[in-house]
């Protein structure tokens, strides 16, 4: 089952990529722009595909090279139609032209996810062919030209984005979130690194909580406990916060699964659809029905949003990939949940791509409620990487040998374990 799920998820990157420039659609819906974060997952997934025999090494190298060349050659600048600025990239790009769409922001976090893929490619393609040598050189260049320090906007911690129309966005990061990868990459830069002080500035709003009897660094949506772990092996390495708490981020993600499962068991909002094998509150697609009265209760069904447990928001929507991507942390629980999903929706076994969300409590096409149409690139990428990390640890091993990752972790204060 895992092999089929992993292969099914990988096929997204073959189907949704533009081979000319390597960009990959954000989602399978027609007309979707590319997401740079999804490209980061794709670049990592190509290495997995070679090892699993789904792509030849030459094919994977060609796809990777097309992608890296596009990013190296695309326009950087402060004009509104560029592809990026200061080495960072706009969150969403036109799949064909590679230019900014939706007046979106230059996104440090999504650039970090892209660069994680770039560095994975650089670490994987270590062969002699000129294509692989070029991949390594481009990976170095793309990473080296990012001005991470600029992204702080003179403040202690990194901003969430920048737009040519209004400058830096106002909102900052609060509490634990998916930005660990961003800080590690920023701190590990050989050219324009973040200052070491930026990391404690980011972790200053952490909260160590005992919830349902589990002590953990709290974050509501599961993807927060997964995204950085797709690349970085956090087992047994600790920063000063985790040293103080006698835990590590891997163990923390295990406990996050326990909290999610306990929340689902309790089902405090009485959706009647959660259970010990039906959990996974995370950033995902949603029914987008607004306020609706269902079985005598007023419900509000959100669109794509970050759902979380136990503080919410919670509209009864499950992100099935959030459960699947918990595989390295809680294999038995994750597999049990995925089997349950496949029993509920056996048709998912046609593509073996889990959808962007489902909600049995929301009106849908049949009595099983609402199911997201098509697939999301982030979901499929996370599925490929976390399944592979569970099966072979491939991505973790590659990144453990990556100098920027090692340096970034050390500058963030991580010690112990493999580091």
- Given the rule CB under 8 A, which residues bind another protein? 103, 163, 165-166, 169-172, 174-175, 204-213, 215, 244-245, 266, 268, 291, 296-298, 300, 310-313
Q: How far is the CB of 288 from another protein (least distance, A)?
A: 14
Q: How far apart are CA 195 and CA 305, in angstroms?
A: 32
Q: How far is the CB of 390 from another protein (least distance, A)?
A: 28
Q: How far apart are CA 273 and CA 192, in angstroms?
A: 49
- In the DSSP assignment, the letter for residue 83 is S
Q: How far is the CB of 219 from another protein (least distance, A)?
A: 10
Q: How would you label 401-410 residue by residue, b for 16+ Cβ within 10 Å and e otherwise?
A: ebebbbbbbb
Please give the distance of CA 241 from its chain centroid, rounded to a whole number.
23
User: Is the separation of the CB atoms in 361 and 294 below 8 Å?
Assistant: yes
Contacts of 333 (CB under 8 A, 6+ apart): 257, 261, 323, 326
**CA dist 53 → 43, 50, 124, 339 (Å):** 16, 5, 15, 25
153 token code pair = 């906007």
**CA dist 28 → 15, 280, 377 (Å):** 9, 22, 8
Contacts of 8 (CB under 8 A, 6+ apart): 351, 352, 353
Which of 283, 279, 280, 314 has its CA nearest to residue 300?
314
180 token code pair = 């660990």
Q: What are phi and psi of 115, to 5 degrees?
A: -70, -30
> Is 21 buried (19+), middle (13-18) or exposed (0-12) by CB count in 10 A?
buried
Beta bridge partners of 376: 27
Beta bridge partners of 298: 293
Q: How far is the CB of 103 from another protein (least distance, A)?
A: 7
Q: How far is the CB of 97 from another protein (least distance, A)?
A: 21
HSE (side-chain half, CA atoms, 13 Å) at 182: 27
User: For another protein, which is the closer residue by CB, 142 or 254?
Assistant: 254
Which of 301, 351, 341, 345 has its CA nearest to residue 321?
341
Q: How far apart are CA 196 and CA 157, in angstroms?
A: 10
């Amino acid at each position: 089952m895992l092999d089929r799920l992993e292969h099914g998820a990988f096929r997204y990157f073959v189907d949704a990529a533009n081979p000319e420039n390597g960009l990959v659609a954000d989602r399978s819906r027609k007309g979707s722009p590319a997401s740079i974060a999804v490209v980061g997952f794709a670049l990592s997934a190509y290495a997995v595909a070679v090892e699993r025999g789904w792509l030849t090494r030459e094919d994977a190298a060609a796809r990777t090279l097309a992608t890296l060349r596009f990013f190296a050659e695309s326009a950087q600048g402060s004009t509104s139609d560029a592809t990026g600025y200061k080495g960072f990239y706009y969150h969403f790009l036109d799949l064909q032209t590679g230019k900014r769409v939706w007046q979106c922001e230059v996104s440090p976090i999504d650039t970090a996810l892209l660069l994680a893929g770039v560095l994975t490619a650089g670490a994987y393609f270590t062969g002699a062919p000129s294509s692989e040598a070029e991949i390594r050189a481009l990976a170095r260049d793309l990473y080296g030209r990012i001005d991470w320090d600029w992204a702080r906007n003179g403040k202690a911690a990194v901003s969430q984005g920048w737009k040519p129309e209004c400058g830096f966005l106002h909102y900052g990061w609060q509490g634990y979130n998916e930005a660990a990868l961003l800080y590690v990459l920023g701190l590990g830069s050989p050219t324009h690194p973040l200052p070491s002080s930026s990391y404690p500035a980011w972790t200053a709003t952490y909260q160590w909580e005992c919830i349902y009897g589990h002590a953990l660094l709290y974050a509501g949506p599961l993807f927060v406990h997964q995204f950085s772990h797709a690349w970085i092996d956090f087992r047994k390495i600790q920063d000063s916060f985790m040293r103080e708490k006698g835990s590590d981020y891997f163990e923390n993600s295990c406990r996050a699964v326990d909290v999610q499962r306990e929340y689902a068991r309790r089902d405090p909002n009485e959706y009647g659809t959660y259970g010990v094998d039906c959990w996974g509150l995370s950033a995902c697609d949603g029914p987008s029905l607004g306020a609706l009265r269902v079985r005598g209760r007023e419900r509000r069904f959100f669109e794509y949003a970050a759902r979380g447990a136990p503080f919410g928001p919670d509209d009864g929507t499950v992100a099935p990939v959030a459960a699947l991507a918990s595989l390295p942390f809680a294999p038995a629980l994750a597999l049990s949940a995925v089997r349950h999903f496949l029993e509920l929706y056996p048709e998912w076994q046609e593509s073996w791509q889990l959808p962007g969300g489902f909600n049995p409590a929301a009106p849908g096409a049949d009595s099983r409620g609402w199911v997201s149409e098509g697939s999301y690139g982030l979901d499929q990428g996370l599925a490929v990487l976390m399944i592979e990390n569970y099966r072979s640890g491939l991505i973790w091993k590659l990144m453990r040998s990556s100098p920027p990752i090692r340096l970034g972790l050390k500058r963030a204060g991580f010690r112990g374990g493999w580091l």
